[in-house]
Structures are given as structure tokens and as C-alpha cells.
Structure 1
Amino acid sequence: MAKIIKINSQKPERKIIREAVRVLRRGGLVIFPTDTVYGLGASICFPKTLRKIYRIKKRSGKKPLVFLIGFKKDIRKFTNKLSNEAKKLVRDFWPGPLTLVFPSKKYKTIALRMPDHRITLGLIRGAGPLAVTSANLSGKKENVTLKAVENQLLKEADLCIDGGKVPRGTVSTVLDVTNHPFQVIREGCIKEKGLRKAVKGKN
């Protein structure tokens, strides 16, 4: 079973964040709270650990992981194609529960999100961008507490951060912004109507 550390979600203890960052920088796998549901993630710099995520979650290799970034400007590290529509969405909904699928420099497409959560941002800003998926077995319901996460995942992780119940408890909305107008891949916390209204507004 992985080491479990309790943390204050409102005022995260720096020493706990630093410990988790060290684990991530060594290629470790961490389970942690986000602004949507509990996540299972690793540094994007360790392909072996990313493959482990697919294996233990029993996730299809056809489903890419979301890359969580710590600053809006980090988008430019992954794509140089940012439409006016995408810029409006980033401006209005980041940080927050909105995942955007962009054309990619390295891959065909890439899913990026900047979360609105102190613990998650602390991990990202310390360890760099993280490849993340929800901390549940494929096909099972997403988890809003660490206690609900399957033992099968807990024992495979290197560290688990218990921040209590997450604020929203609903997955992020996912949009494909590779073309105009955007396409909704998955509706989650943010509803399509509000997104359409936002991109039609003034710059």
C-alpha cells in the first residue's frame, strides 16, 4: 500500500507538497485531489510511469492522458496553434474544470488543462506538467474522496495525498478546439451553452 498523507486543502502544507514533488521528479506515481475528482498522475518526463498508469487503471491505449499545466503561458510549450476561440476559452475558464484539445507540435493533438486547485497547482509548479487521469478503474465511477479509490490503485501508487472531499465532484468538460467552431467531446462541470455564449462575446 502506498504512503498516505493528509493535507489541508485550503492551506496546503509546503512540506507535503515538496515531498510529493520529489516523488514525481523521481518518476513516481501520485494520487491527489484536484478541483474536479481525485487524480492519478505522473510527470510527463517518465514514459515508463505513464505506461504504468494505463496498465493499473486498465485504460485503453487509444485514450490519451490529459496534461495539467501550471500557467496559461505553458500552452505554448505544447502547441503553436491557438485560435481566437481557444484564447477566449482560456481567458474565461482557466484555471478551472475545462480541458481543451489542441493541435500539437509533437503529437497530432494534445489535451491540456490548468486546474483551479492549490494542491494540484503546487504539484505542477514544483514538478512540471503532469499527465493525469481520474483515480478509478476504467469504466468505474470517478472518486471524490481518497477513501473511495480502489485498493488496486492505492497499492500501485508511490504516494497518496488525502485532501478530503474534492469541491466539485464532477469531471471537467472536454472541448476539441482544433477546428472552428469547437466540438464538445464530454460535457462535465461547465455546460455547453455557457461556453458557446462566452466565445461569441466581445474580445
Structure 2
Amino acid sequence: MSSNLKPDWWHIQQSVRAIRQGGVIAYPTEAVWGLGCDPFDEQAVLDLLEIKRRPMHKGLVLIAGNLSQIDFLLEDLTDDEYVKVTANWPGPYTWILPDKKNRIPAWIKGNHSAVAVRVSSHLQVKRLTEAYGSFLVSTSANPAAHDPARDILRVKTYFGEKLAYVLPGELGGLDQPTQIRDLKSDQLIRA
């Protein structure tokens, strides 16, 4: 391992440890800093929602580092839907996918039957999800009604000691948060 990967590896391991202990972390994504936790840990998700002051009914995005982490959500898609979704991944596109077998918890989906998912090409997101062994929650790092954090200082200003860990790193270079599109309606939810 080259010396420039050692600090990143150490921070990734600290982030994974914090998530496994039920913590909420902050990490850089394609355009803004994100808050994340284990999507199957209800208390961690409730903590994240409280920190962010976001109501549960709105739902949350899941972020993966590769297709295999979310393949169970892709197995119910038609061939055309599969091609449509995967043509944009990995990349800065979030798709709202059906969860026909109801495998994603209600505290992630909110008042929806579908779930928002992104397979990121951001190197640290890929390393983080691969080290954790699964996808994570991904929501912008900001309290409700505030601008999303675009640097680590803003993350720390917003949340201080409420976070279990802040994974240092750089944003992916996008000017705007990733677009969100509903697969079934093809409606653009967020441009």
C-alpha cells in the first residue's frame, strides 16, 4: 500500500467502526457532504433524522459503491428498466426504485413504497461502502432549511459533537446535488 493511501484507509476504518457502533458519520460525496449510517439500524437512522431535523415521512437516499451491493433491488426490474438505471451507474444519478419485496425498512422509505438509490463513482464513497460491506444512508449534511455543507468546516459548524466521525476528503466536483428520477414515472424529482 502506498503511503498516500494509509491515511485514507485509516479514516475509512474509523468511519466503518463508528457506523457499526450505531453512529452517524459525515463524508464527502459528488457535490455536497453527506450524513450516513447503517440503514438497517433504526436507532441510528432516528438519530440521523433528529440531527438533521428531517421528518421521517420524506424518506432517505441509499448510496452504494457498486451494483452488487444493491442487486436485490434490481432483480425485479424489467430488462429495459435495468438497462436504463445501470446506464447511469456508477455516477451522480439517484433513481427511485420499486421495493416490491419490502426489504428496505420503512424508516428509510418514509411514506413511500419505493426507495431512492445511487451507485456512486466517488472514490471515498466506494471505499467506505466496500469496507463496510454494504450500502449506507446518504442525505445532505445540513440541518433542514440550511444550505448543504460543501466543506468540512461547515459540517463541523452544523453538527459539532453530534457526529460519531467525519471522514475527511474532497467533494467530487459537481456544482449541484445529484439528480433524482423516478423509474416508474420517469419524472425528474430533483434536477
Larger mean CA deviation between 146-155 and 25-34 belongs to 146-155
Residues 151 and 76 of structure 1, relative CA distance in 2, 3 Å threshold: same
Supply the distance in 1 between the matched residues of 2:72 and 2:79 (Cα, whole angstroms).
18
Kept in 1: contact 2:29–2:171 (CA 8 A): no
Residues 91 and 23 of structure 1, relative CA distance in 2, 3 Å threshold: same
Pick from 96, 111, 120: which aligns with 1:115? 120
Map of 1:74 onto structure 2: 69
Question: Do residues 53 (structure 1) and 59 (structure 2) align?
Answer: no
Residues 101 and 53 of structure 1, relative CA distance in 2, 3 Å threshold: same
Supply the distance in 1 between the matched residues of 2:97 and 2:77 (Cα, whole angstroms).
8
Supply the distance in 2 between the matched residues of 1:22 and 1:164 (Cα, whole angstroms).
21
Structure-1-length-normalised TM-score? 0.78
Residues 90 and 140 of structure 1, relative CA distance in 2, 3 Å threshold: same
Kept in 2: contact 1:40–1:133 (CA 8 A): yes
Q: Structure 2, unaligned stretches of length 5 or more?
A: 105-112
Aligned length: 177
Residues 117 and 165 of structure 1, relative CA distance in 2, 3 Å threshold: closer
Deviation at residue 164 of structure 1 after TM alignment? 3.9
Map of 2:188 onto structure 1: 184
Larger mean CA deviation between 147-156 and 31-40 belongs to 147-156
Q: 1:133 aligns to what SS in structure 2?
A: strand
Q: Which runs of 4+ in 1 moved over 6 A?
A: none
Structure-2-length-normalised TM-score? 0.83
Higher helix share: 2
Supply the distance in 1 between the matched residues of 2:158 and 2:171 (Cα, whole angstroms).
20
Partner deviation per Cα, 1:55-81 (whole Å, 9 max, x = no partner): 111112221111112221333323532
Q: Structure 1, unaligned stretches of length 5 or more?
A: 1-7, 188-203
Kept in 2: contact 1:57–1:137 (CA 8 A): yes
Question: Do residues 97 (structure 1) and 123 (structure 2) align?
Answer: no
Supply the distance in 1 between the matched residues of 2:8 and 2:157 (Cα, whole angstroms).
26
Supply the distance in 2 between the matched residues of 1:124 and 1:17 (Cα, whole angstroms).
9
Map of 1:3 onto structure 2: none
**Percent of matched pairs sharing the same residue:** 27
Larger mean CA deviation between 102-111 and 10-19 belongs to 10-19
Supply the distance in 1 between the matched residues of 2:81 and 2:6 (Cα, whole angstroms).
32
Write out aligned runs for 1:116-195 (5 A).
116-127=121-132, 128-149=134-155, 151-179=157-185, 182-187=186-191
Supply the distance in 2 between the matched residues of 1:12 and 1:166 (Cα, whole angstroms).
19
